[in-house]
Amino acid sequence: MVSYQSAKEEIKRTADVVELIGQYVKLRKAGRNYVGLCPFHAEKDPSFTVNPERQTFHCFGCKKGGDVFGFWMEYHSTTFPEAMRDLAERYHITISEGYSAAEEEKKAAQRNALYKINEIAADYFQKALNHSAKGKPARDYLKRRAIPEETISASRLGFAPDKWDGLINVLKKHHTAMHMAEQAGVIIQREKGGYYDRFRGRIIFPIIDQRQQVVGFGGRVMDDSLPKYLNTPETPVFRKGESLYGLHASFKAIREKGRAVLVEGYMDWLALQKHGLKEVVATLGTALTDRHVRKLKGYAKEAIIVFDSDEAGKSAALKSLYVFANEGLSAKAVVLPAGHDPDSFVNENGLDRFQDFLGHAFPMFDFFLDQKLTKGDSDEGKVRALKEILPVLSEIRDFALRSLYVRRLSEKIGIREDTVLAELKSHYKIPTVGAQRKSREGGQGPSKGKAADKMGRELLSLMVCYPDTIPRLMDCDCRVLISEPEVVDMVDMIFEKYIQEGRFLPEDLLEDIKSESGRERFRETLHRPYVIYSDQDVEQAVTEIEKKAYLKSISASQKKARGDRETQNKLLKLKIQGPPRS
């Protein structure tokens, strides 16, 4: 068992950042780095880079970055202590209880308590389903729905008895604080005091994240009562707009197949899994979000949406067009015969017939047009369809793609392209003054991008890529050439580390830089140096910097010595002589 700090260092030595991130993001080799589509913001061209030499990642688009801990925290929405625990388990490193910042420790304790409550609840629901008497109605229902025992067990399905305090009594036996169980979303507070079970008389589907932890539940009635489905509300560990049911069990198959099949409900997922279609996930009955797609594009090259054949299912598929377009994931859609959902269709017709439908899926925009425009539409019908389509097209941010869609829409509907464009403009949202300014500046403050200090970036690149130059850069006091205080601070830190340790490892500096903008700048230098030199060019670059620093120091001394003729003459001679030869 090693100390907290020692474990942190051992994890960093053991973990391969490319292997770890590659589990969640499709990466390809690009020079010394690996690149992929960022899982934290929408993009079509990869700006997300992973540097195996530095064991760091950085996105040049959204500026997120860091080491293996930084990625784990951002991707899984965890605190640092949780990331430590997860990665220690992953790499078989046993750690002792140790240091944790007070606020992070508090958040981690809260989240751990919620996970524990969810686990108690899942166990309660499973035992209720397996109870010979209490669980019989639920087992009979699952049998009628052709869900086999092995699928029930693997998916940890359960049953919530029709009792107001069944789970509450179990939680009390575990000495669970009721206010925490309410935070977990498994019980509800009464207006006049006390609590009652949220899920009653329902089949229970535990929602499991990619860390194999129960984050929430979905409950389905076994009759025609409403609401048909009930989910855990938003909690600190469960966000409906980010969670995909079954991804924890399907992501390997999705990666192998290169595609993800999206369905609406829990029963659809179970039925397809039972029949052998493994690359499937469900959207928990909610609209598809950009966060859903960002998770999928780390594993899949394309997605196929198979929503129900009713109007609600078609509408959900249509609304997802711009989400896929903005996230840069190729998508197709398919509609099953009337009266069918994936569950009923695959049970009646088998997997081969279902696979035939998938093989004839339409690209999303073709599907979109096919659903909105039918043969023999009247002029009035075409205009109505146009007005339904334009709001969706206006949400697509890629100008070139949107233009192609407009042209195809114009040809399909028989309305001139310039007329369609004129109509489309009326749907654009007018950005605020702040958003316009941010757009003009590329989302960057004065210390970044084009306004950044050229010499500061050059010096950082030299020190990071060619640490042997640091002693000479210290001796000539190159700091006088840097105009940005933030870069001066980083250079000071590099010099200090070099003096103390006799060497400089760039990746070690990241933790010491206090400002987020400074960490962003330094990560960008690590992943994409401002300038790369040959060995001969390095010598020339350092010599030029020494000369520039020398002349700038002389000029500063000349300004101070104004009126002092003797000192001015001495400084002039020094300026003519140039810097001393090293």
User: 334: buried, middle or exposed (CB in 10 Å: 19+, 13-18, 0-12)?
Assistant: buried
Give the whole-angstrom CA distance, residue 424 versus residue 280. Answer: 35
Residues facing residue 280 across a β-bridge: 261
List the pLDDT tens digit at each of the 582 positions of the chain: 455 667 788 888 888 899 999 989 999 998 889 999 999 998 888 999 999 888 899 999 999 999 999 999 999 988 888 888 889 888 878 776 654 556 667 877 888 999 999 999 999 999 999 999 999 999 999 999 999 999 999 999 999 999 999 999 999 999 999 999 999 999 999 988 999 999 999 999 999 998 899 999 999 999 988 889 999 999 999 988 889 999 999 999 999 999 999 998 899 999 999 999 999 999 887 778 888 998 898 889 999 999 766 676 667 767 788 899 888 899 999 888 888 899 999 999 999 999 999 999 989 888 888 877 776 678 888 888 888 888 888 888 888 888 899 998 888 888 888 888 888 877 765 444 344 334 333 443 334 444 347 888 888 888 888 888 899 898 888 888 888 888 888 999 998 888 888 878 877 787 788 888 888 888 888 888 877 777 678 888 888 888 888 888 877 776 776 766 666 666 566 556 666 655
Q: For Cα atoms 236, 237, 239, give the angle at the middle one, nearest 5 degrees.
A: 90
465-509 pLDDT per residue, tens: 888 889 989 888 888 888 888 888 899 999 888 888 887 887 778
The amino acid present at 257, given as its one-letter code, is K
- Tell me the two tokens of residue 137: 């109605």
4-100 and 247-425, same CATH topology: no
Phi-psi map region of 503: left, alpha, beta (phi>0 left; psi -120 to 50 alpha): beta
Q: Where are the domains of the chain?
A: 4-100, 107-231, 247-425, 452-577
Architecture per CATH, domain 4-100, reads as: Alpha-Beta Complex (3.90)
SS3 content of the chain, % helix, strand, coil (to 5): 55, 10, 35
> What fold does the segment set 247-425 form as a domain?
Dna Topoisomerase Vi A Subunit; Chain: A, domain 2 (3.40.1360)
> What fold does the segment set 107-231 form as a domain?
DNA primase DNAg catalytic core, N-terminal domain (3.90.980)
pTM: 0.69
Percent of the chain surpassing pLDDT 90: 39
Give the whole-angstrom CA distance, residue 181 versus residue 399. Answer: 48
